[in-house]
Amino acid sequence: MNYYEKQLNEGYNARLNSLFKKWKASYPDGNIEDKFCPDGLVVKYKDEDSGYDINQEWEKSKRKIMFIVKDCPDDWGHDTRRLLVGYEDNEKSQDNAWKTRNLKGRTGFFKNIARLLYGLYYMTEENKGEEFNTQVHNIDNLVSAINEIPFAYIEAKKIAGTKTCSSASLRKALDKDSGFLMDEINILKPNIIVCCDNNGDIFNSLVKNYFNSIIPDEDCRWDYEFELEDGTKCGFYCKLYYYPEKGILLFNSYHPTRLGKAEWKICEKVLHPFRQFFHKYKTFDIIAK
């Protein structure tokens, strides 16, 4: 067993593997083995000598950041925990892993994931202004973030699809598999969840099924139309719910591709309400207890 396999079969990822067996068995036709996408903690491109074990790094991280995306658009069930390392016997997957590690690609998908990851991991009350904005747009910082910061990458719809995933298809999967998805969240215990679906289907499903349809009160809720400092409206809304009892921040985000929208909007839709959280509470320590 190589070092990647070891990390995929121990700790949190091992517990997820047990869950995925039950999840796959819940499909009555049983013919989904090559379409089902295991996911969880993304393994880094590091050897054993580095001492970096994703399960251990997640355990000790104060900020446990989970991204929930719609589905895998590649029409086959690869393990998304291998995004940065690929498969040894699959040259195409190795090439794709290199591109992901180096944030290449025309859609900017993982570049924007890395930007949100960096911002959510490093923002503080003292560091959330112009200097921080410079940091979060520095490509070297973003490459370092995706290759160093532990994070969970979850497919809301576990059965791989094609280039597009309609709201109807996503909602159907969320309705069927909500129990399993809630189990996955319970195993990983994130304290920051980013729902990468501008329509809000993932966000709304979590509010209903994980947070028992509870809407936080005004002190723990930021739901507003984004405006520039001069009052100019920019055509998108920000939404962040803080659940003190569970110690979780729940964000609604754009789909991370830059196609059809400006990258700064993808960033600000999440980081702007995070600034508001720090303005009110001053520290992340109230969550990372």
Q: Locate 212 and state its tokens.
A: 């028992």
Q: What is the pLDDT of residue 288?
A: 67
The ranges assigned to domains in the chain are 3-286
- For residue 214, which phi and psi values (nearest 5 degrees)? -80, 130
Given this model, what pLDDT does residue 168 score? 75
pLDDT computed for residue 259 by the predictor: 81
Query: 219: which 2 tokens?
Result: 């002190």
Find, among 194, 171, 182, the residue nearest to 241 by Cα. Answer: 194
Instruction: Identify the pLDDT of residue 35.
Output: 81
Residues 6+ apart with CB under 8 A from 23: 36, 158, 177, 180
- Report the C-alpha gap between 191 and 185 in whole angstroms: 10
Check residue 89 and give its pLDDT.
Answer: 85
Choose among 67, 75, 23, 15: nearest CA to 254.
67
pLDDT score for 289: 60
> Given this model, what pLDDT does residue 251 score?
98
Question: Per-residue pLDDT for the chain (289 aa), expressed as one digit of tens each?
Answer: 699 999 999 999 999 999 999 998 888 765 676 788 899 999 999 999 999 999 999 999 999 999 999 755 655 668 999 999 999 888 998 999 999 999 998 889 999 999 999 999 999 999 999 999 999 999 999 999 999 999 999 998 887 655 665 677 788 888 888 999 999 999 999 999 999 988 899 999 999 999 999 999 999 999 999 999 888 999 999 999 999 999 999 999 998 988 878 999 999 999 999 999 999 999 999 996 6
- What pLDDT is attached to residue 169? 74
Q: How far does Cα 127 stand from its chain's mean position?
A: 22
C-alpha span between 277 and 222 (Å, rounded) = 8
**What pLDDT, on the 0 to 100 scale, is given for residue 274?**
98
